[in-house]
Amino acid sequence: MKLTVRENNEELTKNFNDACQNEMFVKLVKKLKLTKKEAVKITSKLEDCVKELEHCKNCQGLSMCQNAFKGNVKMPEKENEKVYFTYIPCKYLKMRYEEENIKKQKLNEQVWARMKDIDFSDKKRAKVIKWLDEFFEKFSFKDNVKGLYLYGNFGCGKTFLISALLNELKYQKQVRCEIVYFPELLRTLKNDWELYEEKINLYENVDILCIDDIGAEKVSDWGRDEVLGTILQTRMNQNKTTFFTSNLSLEELESHFKASGSIDDQLKARRIMERIKQLSIPMELISENKRK
């Protein structure tokens, strides 16, 4: 049976009054500065927004997303007295976009960076550049040389500088070098277990290895002990030159590896840190964010 205009308005008003029992719905109406008459007309759409915002409140990642469009939340916007509905990426989707952009930039740096491309105008980088330059000049397969644990603020050019050095060594001295973005390595191995032996063997035995962005990964016993620990132990035993880049200092990285904080985790974290210290020299780089 078709509702009359009056009955329809009464039904809409009832729905609005029921929706007002939800505190988030009321806040949304106030934020948009809607009159009751305006809000009544779009109650169901506003309720959709509230439902998605409530999903986001307890969400812990994209894999848990319950919204209509994964990683996005439906939101209202008021412009020229009209309300429009749009989808806004959540913090987890933004993080994924940012990570993908970083991966693309890092890949480009790993392929093309050379020492002639280094910007020498930033005096804050002078100490690191001098060290890299001396490493290149003195490098010999006969010597067991420690790499660098290069840490500092986000986007200051750590990966670019190490990539420039390793590319120079590869092209001018025929050194086998590999740079591996550590969070991506863990994801790759989790998705394809058959690659484990091949990848681990490569990173254990290559002449020079750079483990990029260590500390940016989600800590797990498997990633820390079976992947990272295995690679580092072999390289330490064979005196293989190893570099690291990180946003964390050595002390912060150890805390990162402690995970649960149990005695067992503390011991395993300390064991990883001892291997890193055996393989590299720590050096801090604080500079302008080149990715702005």
Q: What is the pLDDT of residue 15?
A: 84
Tokens 């190490």 locate to: 162
Q: What is the pLDDT of residue 2?
A: 56
Query: Is 227 in contact with 185 (CB distance < 8 Å)?
Result: yes
Q: What is the pLDDT of residue 19?
A: 85
Q: What is the pLDDT of residue 251?
A: 95
Q: What is the pLDDT of residue 148?
A: 97
Where the chain has pLDDT below 70, the residues are 1-3, 5, 7, 103-111, 289-292
Q: Which amino acid, residue 12?
A: L
Tell me the domain boundaries of the chain: 5-89, 95-285
Strand order, beta sheet including 208-212? 177-181, 208-212, 241-246, 147-152, 280-285
CA angle 199, 266, 217 (to 5 degrees): 40
Q: Domain 95-285 adopts which CATH fold?
A: Rossmann fold (3.40.50)
- The tens digit of pLDDT for each residue in 205-255 reads 999 999 999 999 988 899 999 999 999 999 999 999 999 999 999 999 999
pTM: 0.66
Tokens 């009054």 locate to: 17
Q: In the numeric block, which tokens belong to residue 153? A: 């603020």
